Chain A
Amino acid sequence: MNGAQDLGGMHGFGPVQPEDDEPAFHAEWERRAFALTLAMGATGSWTLDQARAARESLAPATYLASSYYEIWLAGLEALMRERGLVHDDELADGRVHAPGQPLAKRLAAEDVAAALARGAPTERAAPGPARFATGDRVLTRQINPAGHTRLPRYARGRRGTVVAVHGAHVFPDTSGTGGGEHPAWLYTVRFDAAELWGPDTSAADVLVDCWEPYLEPLGGPAR
Chain B
Amino acid sequence: MSGTHANLSELDARVRAIESLLVAKGYVDPVALDALIETYEHRVGPHNGARVVARAWTDPAFLDWLRRDATAAIASMGYSGRQGEHMIALENSPKTHHLVVCTLCSCYPWPVLGLPPVWYKSAPYRSRAVIDPRGVLADFGVRLPETTAISVHDSTAELRYLVIPMRPAGTDGWDAQRLATLVTRDAMIGTGLALDPPAPDGGAA
Contact = CB atoms under 8 A, between A and B. Distances in A.
Interface of A: 5-11, 13-19, 22, 24-29, 31-36, 38-40, 43, 52, 55-56, 63-71, 73, 76-77, 85-86, 90-91, 93-96, 99-101, 103, 106-109, 111-113, 115-123, 150-152, 154-155, 164, 166, 169-170, 172, 186, 188, 190, 193, 196-197, 200-211
A204 B3 CA distance: 33
Contacts of A118: 81-82
Nearest to A37: B36
B169 interface: no
B137 to A, nearest CB: 9
B171 interface: no
Contact of A39 (B36, B85, B105): B36
B130 interface: yes
A9 B131 contact: yes
B199 interface: no
Contacts of A85: 25, 27
B40 A24 contact: yes
A122 to B, nearest CB: 4
Interface of B: 1-3, 5-6, 8, 11-12, 14-22, 24-29, 31-37, 39-41, 45, 80-86, 88, 96, 101, 103-106, 114-115, 117-119, 121-136, 139-140, 149-159, 186, 191
A169 B158 contact: yes
A58 to B, nearest CB: 11
Contact of A203 (B37, B114, B122, B131): B131
A188 to B, nearest CB: 8
B27 A32 contact: no
Contacts of B32: 35, 39, 107-109, 111-112
Contacts, number: 293
Contact of A70 (B3, B33, B83): B3
B60 to A, nearest CB: 22
4 nearest A-B pairs in the assembled complex, by CB-CB distance:
A94-B17, A67-B3, A100-B25, A204-B149
B20 to A, nearest CB: 6
B107 to A, nearest CB: 10
Given A18-B117, A26-B118, A150-B156, A35 B131 contact: no
A211 B159 CA distance: 12
25 contacts: A6-B103, A7-B123, A10-B123, A16-B128, A16-B136, A18-B191, A27-B8, A35-B37, A66-B6, A68-B118, A68-B122, A86-B21, A109-B32, A112-B39, A155-B154, A169-B158, A190-B151, A202-B132, A202-B150, A203-B130, A204-B151, A206-B151, A206-B152, A206-B154, A207-B153
Of the candidates B24, B27, B41, B106, the one having the most CB atoms from chain A within 10 angstroms of its own CB is B27
Contact of B29 (A55, A86, A106, A190): A106
A24 B19 CA distance: 20
A13 B31 contact: no
A38 B131 CA distance: 32
Given A9-B130, A36-B19, A70-B6, A121 B1 contact: no
Contacts of B16: 29, 32, 94
A208 B12 CA distance: 37
A67 B2 contact: yes
A99 to B, nearest CB: 7
A14 B106 CA distance: 19
Given A70-B11, A109-B29, A209 B37 contact: no
A73 B153 contact: no
A73 B14 contact: yes
Given A16-B125, A64-B1, A109-B35, A119 B106 contact: no
A117 B115 CA distance: 15
A91 B8 CA distance: 18
Contacts of A115: 82
B18 A39 contact: no
